[in-house]
């Protein structure tokens, strides 16, 4: 019985391998390597958190699972699974999965290097390697795959115009998280001299500190400015995926279809 199972497994492995093109194999490897790396990073953060991590509001609130609530982690997992799925099976669903993944990992890539890189902790090899991996290597692997798939991947109008929904939802999550954790029991400092307790709201990313949005400290004492900047953040995260989506269509000369059922050869 075991011999039959082994033969069946070998047969299925050979069949899958033969059905994959060179681009498929490359993309599959990219996806698996990225997914395993992200998973290892999550486990290390969960089981062996650094002092900075332990002192963060996210860790105090979510503990072992805090990494899953960062858009960086979510977008990296998203694109990794999208690369794996598209390399193994091509249909409308995996095509759109890949399109969404490309857009979201690009947001991670651009936002990090413009707004967050300067305040990141690069003091240790692990921190530097992890940051470089999730903010540069994984996006580059995704772009390489997209380049080789450029003649078959299709960006649809529906995909592009629904891509902001995830970003809008995530921005709403950071806003609710911030204001629901004001004066909370999880995140505070205690002054031993004055015996005063100073509470902090949980901030996911520095630019999304809604007391001083986009790092503008003057907004802390100006409600009107603060509301205006919060609205700007939401508008940016609605426009970014649209802009990046159309940019990829132009830069990679991808097929663009306004009709969601775009390719008859792709069967769902």
pLDDT digits (tens, 9 = 90+) for 32-61: 999 999 999 999 999 999 888 888 889 988
DSSP one-letter string for 103-115? HHHHHHHHHIIII
38-41, long-range: CB < 8 A, 24+ apart: 38/73, 38/76, 38/77, 38/80, 38/134, 38/138, 41/67, 41/73, 41/130, 41/133, 41/134
Which SS3 state, helix, strand or coil, does residue 156 take?
Answer: strand
Which SS3 state, helix, strand or coil, does residue 258 take?
Answer: coil
Residue with tokens 């950071």: 174
Each residue's pLDDT tens digit, 197-238: 666 788 899 888 898 898 898 888 889 999 999 999 999 999
Give pLDDT, residue 10: 47
Instruction: Say what angle helices 92-111 and 71-88 make with each other, to 10 degrees.
Output: 150
How far, in Å, CA of 139 to CA of 79, rounded?
A: 8
pTM: 0.84
Residue 214, number of CB atoms within 10 A of its CB:
15
How far, in Å, CA of 102 to CA of 75, rounded?
A: 9
Choice among 16-20, 156-160, 187-191, 259-263 with the minimum mean pLDDT: 259-263
Residue with tokens 């929904």: 165
Q: How many residues does the chain have?
A: 268
pLDDT category at 15 given cuts 50, 70, 90 is: very low
CB neighbours of 126 closer than 8 A, spacing ≥ 6?
44
Query: Left, alpha or beta for 159 (phi > 0: left; psi -120 to 50: alpha)?
Result: alpha
Backbone angles phi, psi at 94, to 5 degrees: -70, -30
Share of the chain above pLDDT 90, in %: 63
């Amino acid at each position: 019985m075991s011999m039959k199972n082994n033969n069946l497994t070998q047969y299925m492995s050979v069949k899958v391998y033969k059905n994959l093109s060179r681009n498929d194999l490359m993309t599959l490897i990219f996806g698996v390597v990225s997914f395993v790396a992200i998973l290892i990073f999550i486990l290390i953060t969960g089981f062996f958190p650094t002092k900075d991590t332990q002192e963060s509001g996210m860790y105090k609130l979510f503990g072992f699972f805090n990494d899953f609530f960062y858009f960086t982690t979510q977008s990296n997992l998203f694109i990794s699974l999208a690369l794996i799925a598209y390399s193994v099976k091509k249909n409308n669903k995996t095509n759109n999965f890949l399109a969404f993944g490309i857009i979201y990992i690009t947001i991670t890539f651009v936002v990090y290097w413009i707004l967050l890189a300067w305040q990141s902790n690069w003091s240790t090899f692990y921190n530097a390697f992890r940051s470089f991996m999730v903010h540069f290597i994984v996006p580059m692997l995704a772009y390489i795959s997209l380049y080789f798939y450029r003649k078959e991947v299709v960006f649809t109008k529906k995909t592009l115009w629904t891509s902001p929904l995830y970003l809008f939802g995530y921005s709403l999550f950071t806003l609710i998280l911030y204001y629901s954790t004001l004066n909370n029991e999880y995140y505070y400092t205690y002054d031993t001299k004055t015996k005063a307790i100073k509470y902090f709201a949980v901030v996911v990313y520095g630019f999304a500190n809604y007391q001083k949005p986009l790092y503008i400290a003057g907004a802390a004492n100006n409600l009107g400015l603060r509301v205006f900047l919060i609205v700007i953040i939401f508008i940016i995260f609605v426009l970014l995926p649209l802009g990046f989506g159309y940019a990829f269509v132009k830069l990679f000369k991808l097929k663009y279809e306004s009709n969601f059922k775009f390719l008859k050869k792709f069967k769902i």
